[in-house]
Structure 1
């Protein structure tokens, strides 16, 4: 019988007279996973998977050792890189636009990833909701991936969830993806982290940790020395991390914002494109929502959309397309704030002018004058407020509208003062 596990699996399945779907039902292994194994897209199946398949195929005792050995051989070969489907990168967006300077910076950092004893480089990509952090990280990983012969890994750490991914469970996933057998993954989180660092000490791997909650979640996942590159995305600045390269994303330049919108909707009403881009605050997520909404309503003109967006009271309600909602993205950050920071966030929507300082913030929220600076720092850390020059702060215009909505909903008396 053929040596590779995929061929053995297919021949045993045919001998048993089973379809992939029937084997999937018997074994509890998905038909997609069985297909990937048979086509040798997945060459390193885990031991528990192989045992389940052997039971479902009702293999004779004389056939099982060869079946299990072929799987072990696949896992051994799989350790040189990353098995297909394990922590795989999402697809890049086909209309990615701009961020040339940031991509150039990531390319320079990647070229500096060298064998031990040089510390493996780490890059944090921070910014407000909808600014394109994940899109940039995925684009960079696809562009740079060929230089990382050990493979590329992508893990969503679910930082905005009520229960973000734990470091221990993430390390187990990473070790499995890097070819470590289940029975060889340490039970202790510290030992898992040490094993992970040891693997990256000698492998040229690119790892993207998306949507990081805070420093305590990511610290155990950082590499030591070696030729790996780690890219971290987070709404937080992660100021507590030491020795990292930092990229702080802001809204797109006017030209890139207009170009992105044109790539989504095509070449139509060019005199209105820049206006809609500005009304979207040049925020990539808002631009995509506006473009998708227009494309799903062929009877709409771009001018009609611009007119709808021009009403500040309804603008956030217009930036909805299917399951994409700009206000929902902001709300995830808002719920992470402490109660004093939430109150200040709402009250700051009353500030006149484009920016303000701590003194004005204190007059808008006089309930806790001693805590104003701390609340402002919290808002900046979570990218809900931009620290400007000379101790001044400013909102992104869509976030200001969101803060105003929260004020009207949660503090109607204060909202009446604005009017």
Structure 2
């Protein structure tokens, strides 16, 4: 039986009378990586790594092919192109509606995912809670998946959790889905990222990284050159990621919003359907909740629901269907904010106009006016506020109602009155 690469490396290093540290200095490969290879914790070194080790060991030319072949033998063999259940794509939504422009953009980017020396394309899909980011990504992945012969992988990165999985954890899951046995997965994040990029360099894989917390969680998962496509969804704009295609989801156009609601409840009461769609802010999750609420209460008319939603004070309480709650979706974003941004978010609900600028926002927190721009940027980054034209900002109407609820719950009446007076002044 031929030696494994780890044994060959150790024997050759001993023959050259080199310590791991000396070999690391000569080759540019870290001593830890060499140790992992020799102990066979890392069985799939990249070709350039093996070549650098061979040169540092001064292997005779006749011995180099066997050295390289031993490294290749330890690399993972491709499994079937269908991924394991751990990374299987969720089912598409049967009544998916609209987003034609965004689907067309994703299709164009997918067509550009070809073997090339440039980095494989990456698309970020951002937007507020309930805008349909995951639904769009899943819909696109099902539509485009047949073109990706290496399979389609989906991972929920649980970005709103108190402790989302880090990149090292996610890489292990992706490598396993790509056919790498647990024992062959490198122990460290750098090794895992290198192996992942090497696999995607050779395979045409569509990867959906859903619900990303921030750039640090996803940056090591970005591919190098190759024919893959990566789609990232996040409530954050992920402005720190470079060289990515960006899709920002806002509310649906009025016609698409009404169409989505009709597809859920059937063709009934067209005037009331349009009114409910507007009261839901044309937000897909809110429309889904309203539709499900009507379908679970067959004696209700659409007009009855429209009347209930027309009361702003109770609108968010009406947008609940089973475990779907629009306020709960907003709350997950709210808890991610710093204390100054939370305070500003609450108080901005007092603005009597639909949009405002930084000066008006600053009047709501006179104790710390210098932090207003930072707080506004934080709200925009988390898609709780829309950056409008000419330095102005705007709330989605349901988020504004949520901010008003938080204000009532968390600030005494005297402080609310003071903030309102400063804004009016």
Deviation at 1:360, TM superposition (A): 0.4
Deviations 1:100-146 (A, max 9, x none): 00000000000000113121000000000000000000000000000
In structure 1, the partner of 2:292 is 292
Q: Secondary structure at the match of 1:364?
A: coil
The question of whether the paired residues in 1 share the 8 Å contact of 2:83 and 2:153 is answered with: no
Distance in 1 of aligned mates of 2:340 and 2:416: 18
Q: Secondary structure at the match of 1:274?
A: helix
Distance in 1 of aligned mates of 2:240 and 2:154: 23
Distance in 2 of aligned mates of 1:84 and 1:339: 42
In structure 2, the partner of 1:373 is 373
* 2:142 aligned with 1:142: yes
In structure 1, the partner of 2:182 is 182
Deviation at 1:84, TM superposition (A): 4.2
The question of whether the paired residues in 2 share the 8 Å contact of 1:82 and 1:179 is answered with: no
The question of whether the paired residues in 1 share the 8 Å contact of 2:213 and 2:236 is answered with: yes
Long gaps (5+) in structure 2: 1-74
In structure 1, the partner of 2:64 is none
Kindly report the root-mean-square deviation, in angstroms, between the aligned alpha carbons of the 2 structures.
1.4
In structure 1, the partner of 2:128 is 128
The question of whether the paired residues in 2 share the 8 Å contact of 1:201 and 1:225 is answered with: yes
Deviations 1:330-384 (A, max 9, x none): 0000000000000000010011111000000011121210000000000000000
Distance in 1 of aligned mates of 2:77 and 2:348: 57
Q: Secondary structure at the match of 1:183?
A: helix
TM-score, structure 2 as length reference: 0.80
Q: Secondary structure at the match of 1:124?
A: strand
In structure 2, the partner of 1:322 is 322
Deviations 1:141-184 (A, max 9, x none): 00000000000000000000001011111100100000011110
Deviation at 1:275, TM superposition (A): 0.3
Long gaps (5+) in structure 1: 1-74
In structure 2, the partner of 1:113 is 113
Give the alignment of 1:3-402 within 5 angstroms: 79-402=79-402
Larger Rg: 2
**Cα pair distance change 1:290/1:265, threshold 3 Å:** same
Deviation at 1:77, TM superposition (A): 6.9
Distance in 1 of aligned mates of 2:171 and 2:220: 8
Q: Secondary structure at the match of 2:124?
A: strand
The question of whether the paired residues in 2 share the 8 Å contact of 1:351 and 1:364 is answered with: no
Distance in 1 of aligned mates of 2:88 and 2:294: 32
Distance in 2 of aligned mates of 1:100 and 1:312: 31
In structure 2, the partner of 1:24 is none
Provide the aligned length of Structure 1 versus Structure 2: 345
Distance in 2 of aligned mates of 1:186 and 1:84: 20
Q: Secondary structure at the match of 1:162?
A: coil
In structure 2, the partner of 1:72 is none
TM-score, structure 1 as length reference: 0.81
With 172-181 and 84-93 compared, the bigger mean Cα shift is at 84-93
The question of whether the paired residues in 1 share the 8 Å contact of 2:83 and 2:152 is answered with: no
The question of whether the paired residues in 2 share the 8 Å contact of 1:277 and 1:287 is answered with: yes
Runs in 1 of length 4+ with deviation above 3 angstroms? 75-78, 414-419
Distance in 1 of aligned mates of 2:235 and 2:76: 38
Distance in 2 of aligned mates of 1:367 and 1:266: 53
